[in-house]
């Protein structure tokens, strides 16, 4: 379910609202801590970072991402054309898999082919952003949701397919088995339009504040 993007992310006020509408969440907010979100302007950089972070622990992903940046001397993140001009084996030397290197090139090509779309994603609603991003091979729903949360700071994102969130949900609500994404999404409707806040806290249940 999507809602129109009409509110900015506001951690403090969203917690107050969520406590009023769902008292079961009070313990979640009182027992765990999360980091506030800050918007990021470089859409290309954050999407590349998302690809590198896929299916990796935070520490490993951060190391690979730093190595990736280091092969492009200079203070700024490389432009799409510069990445496309780089031998794929050089990209892989940073620890990036062959498939992820291909996905990174796909994103670079998309930014070159349609800059108006990808450089102005913040003007679109959540659903349109997901549709635009997932049209690029290598960007799935999870990556698009990470972009919405950590780059654009959209307030109502709930990545129910994320294993860490599923485990946090199971632990906090004391479930006997891992919840199904469909049931999580259904139950999360009560938290609209502040599901990003709940997501951040569910990550924190088992892993502490989400590192990005």
Nearest Cα residue to 50 out of 39, 67, 62: 62
Nearest Cα residue to 91 out of 69, 109, 112: 69
Helices (H), 43-180: 43-53, 58-70, 80-84, 88-92, 98-113, 115-118, 126-133, 141-150, 163-172
Q: Which of 10, 30, 36, 162 is catalytic?
A: 162
Catalytic site includes residue 162: yes
First to last CA, the chain: 25
3 state DSSP class of 21: helix
Determine contact, residues 77/192, Cβ cutoff 8 Å: no
For 180, other C-beta atoms within 10 Å of its C-beta total 11
Nearest Cα residue to 25 out of 208, 206, 199: 199
Q: Which residues are part of the catalytic machinery?
A: 162
């Amino acid at each position: 379910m999507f809602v129109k993007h009409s509110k900015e992310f506001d951690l403090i006020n969203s917690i107050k609202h969520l406590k009023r509408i769902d008292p079961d969440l009070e313990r979640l907010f009182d027992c765990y801590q999360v980091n506030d979100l800050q918007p990021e302007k470089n859409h290309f950089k954050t999407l590349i970072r998302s690809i590198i972070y896929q299916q990796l622990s935070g520490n490993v992903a951060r190391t690979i991402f730093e190595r990736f940046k280091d092969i492009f001397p200079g203070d700024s993140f490389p432009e799409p054309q510069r990445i496309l001009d780089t031998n794929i084996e050089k990209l892989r030397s940073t620890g990036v898999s062959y498939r992820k290197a291909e996905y990174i090139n796909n994103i670079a090509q998309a930014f070159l082919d349609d800059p108006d779309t990808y450089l102005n994603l913040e003007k679109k609603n959540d659903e349109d952003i997901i549709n635009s991003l997932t049209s690029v091979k290598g960007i799935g729903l999870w990556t698009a949701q990470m972009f919405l949360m950590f780059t654009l700071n959209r307030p109502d994102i709930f990545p129910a397919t994320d294993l860490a969130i599923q485990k946090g949900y199971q632990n906090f609500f004391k479930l006997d088995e891992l919840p199904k994404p469909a049931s999580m999404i259904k139950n999360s409707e009560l938290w609209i339009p502040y599901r990003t806040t709940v997501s951040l806290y569910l990550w924190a249940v088992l892993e502490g504040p989400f590192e990005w």
